Amino acid sequence: MSLHDRAGQPALQSDLADIPHLISSYYTLSPRADHPAEQVSFGTSGHRGSALKRSFNQSHIRAITQAVVDYRRQAGIRGPMLLGYDTHALSQPAFFTAIEVLAANGVRIHIQKGRAFLPTPVLSYGVIRYNRTSDELADGLILTPSHNPPADGGIKYNPPHGGPADTDVTDFIAARANHYLAHGLEGVRWVSHDVAMATALVEEWDLIGEYIEALGQVLNMEVIAKSGIRLGVDPLGGASVSVWQRIGERYGLDLTVVNDRVDPAFGFMALDKDGQIRMDCSSSHAMAPLLAIKDQYDLALANDPDADRHGIVCRDGGLMNPNHFLAVAIDYLLAHRPQWPQGIAVGKTLVSSAIIDKVVAAKGYPLQEVPVGFKWFVEGLSLGTLGFGGEESAGASFLDRQGRAFSTDKDGFILCLLAAEIQAVTGQSPAAHYEALEARFGVHHYRRIDAPATEAIKAAFKTLDPETLSCDHLAGEPVQAILTRAPGNGASIGGLKMVTEHGWFAARPSGTEPIYKIYAESSLGESHLNALLEEAQALIAKLSS
């Protein structure tokens, strides 16, 4: 994809979504049940769409919420539903729609005090905390499309383990929701908002306050405060705007929220690489405003709108590549969490950097390599058998200092605060720590590209068999492994990964766009990386011919 000529520059009025039109479309447009693009479809992070495209409208939220009620009834979940939303324009209307359906079905609902925004990791912790002390199980729904553009909406379900629902759950919810859509919402119950709020089923709790109090169990907040390091935080207009100031005040941190604006058009953002407004805290283009002031702080930190992702900016290294920070975080945690059980596993997605494998091996810990999707880490984090789980897309979580689950969804707060702990404890920035890892394990060149995917290519991915692939060399090296299932848990990766001594590539089709994603990494250099990417595309084209 070519770089947009205004990438990294401030958004103009002409770039902004028409928010009134978007919200009115949520209520006035309905999905057509026979159009696949307008049906409910759960990806790795819930159902996402736009009201303008008839893929995220009131009918969707009514159907999905009723389907979640149906699921929790059959699963015996009788406790409250924790409900939250982020700052996207469609999130609050969907939040109120969900309340109307949940109340009509007699479900108790816990929301943030003052009906304020609620970040994903806070909801995850809230579910876990409630279920530790109650006989009735709670679960959660959050209205967010994560870092997606302003015109998008999203909804995801977190069962009683607090993390993203597994495929068997989301398949049930999607099928039931699409059934409701196809039958004109017959069987879906809802009441007016006034009636819902008058039922006494909706309870306000300071879920954010409870989360903040527990942070001291996860991180060494005392040493961060005593170090006096200056932290600049940009919530990127998201739900974390109501959290960071409270964290700083509670623990006495030298912390400045550099932008406290909440604007559903996100008009303060810089354009991403493709010219879109996208609140991606791992993109140097979207993060241009924070990068411009990084020298005013020892560390500059950022989250996406639902705060499940982290962005780490160091004075001496700029915005860290998410893979680089994952490697640093793992290396530090395995050396500074003495109460974690010896031999606890570390989880990574199979498209994350191979330097993580080398870091974990050098520490003598087992590695669990899983397909893309944070749901694969939930069981291990819940049971305390997985100390850390991380994705290449700047999402991760880890256990508290006692080795217990804290949040089982991606947690941008604790990863940002871990960067501060690393600098406070060691006196060196995370960027400097990564330089040391490179000096020890070599430079790793990593890239992801998107390539066009025909129907033939998508069909070829579904029928891949490693036994029938005739490829014994890749970019000049013998192929050591051809994978269609993840080595960590045997689950299908929905694509292909090939590994050589000094490099690898992985390819998987997008579930929502006519593209497939190719990830590749080389420890030999950029020319070898280019060869990996070129040969990967040629191989995939050959498979589909």
What pLDDT does residue 511 have? Answer: 66
The catalytic residue among 45, 124, 146, 429 is 146
Listed in order, strand segments (DSSP E) in 159-279 are 202-205, 230-234, 254-257
**Per-residue pLDDT averaged across 484-495, rounded?**
92
Instruction: Render pLDDT for 176-211 as a digit per residue (tens, 0 to 9).
Output: 999 999 999 999 999 999 999 999 999 999 999 999
Tokens of 532: 């990996």
Instruction: Render pLDDT for 362-406 as a digit per residue (tens, 0 to 9).
Output: 999 999 999 999 999 999 999 999 999 999 999 999 999 999 999
221 HSE (CA, 13 A, CB side):
18
Domain 18-209 grouped into CATH 3.40.120.10: yes
**Per-residue pLDDT averaged across 1-5, rounded?**
83
On average, the pLDDT of the chain sits at: 95
Q: Where in the chain are the domains?
A: 18-209, 445-543
**Per-residue pLDDT averaged across 3-15, rounded?**
97
What pLDDT does residue 231 have? Answer: 98
Q: With left for phi above 0 and alpha for psi between -120 and 50, is residue 46 left, alpha or beta?
A: left
Position 512 confidence tier, pLDDT thresholds 50, 70, 90: low
**Per-residue pLDDT averaged across 221-246, rounded?**
97
Q: Are 33 and 182 in contact (CB under 8 A)?
A: yes
In the predicted structure, residue 278 carries a pLDDT above the cut 90: yes
What pLDDT does residue 1 have? Answer: 57
Listed in order, strand segments (DSSP E) in 167-317 are 202-205, 230-234, 254-257, 299-303, 310-314
Q: Is 180 exposed, middle or buried (0-12, 13-18, 19+ CB in 10 A)?
A: buried
Domain 445-543 in the same topology as domain 18-209? no
Q: CA 352, CA 537: separation in Å to the nearest integer?
A: 19
What pLDDT does residue 456 have? Answer: 84
Our answer to whether residue 523 is catalytic in this structure is no
What pLDDT does residue 471 have? Answer: 86
Q: Are 310 and 328 in contact (CB under 8 A)?
A: no
What pLDDT does residue 545 have? Answer: 72
**Per-residue pLDDT averaged across 144-159, rounded?**
97
Instruction: Render pLDDT for 330-360 as a digit per residue (tens, 0 to 9).
Output: 999 999 999 999 889 999 999 999 999 999 9
Tokens of 193: 């908002």
Domain 445-543 grouped into CATH 3.40.50.1820: no
Tokens of 395: 């999402």
Closest to 450 in 3D by CA, of 275, 274, 298: 274
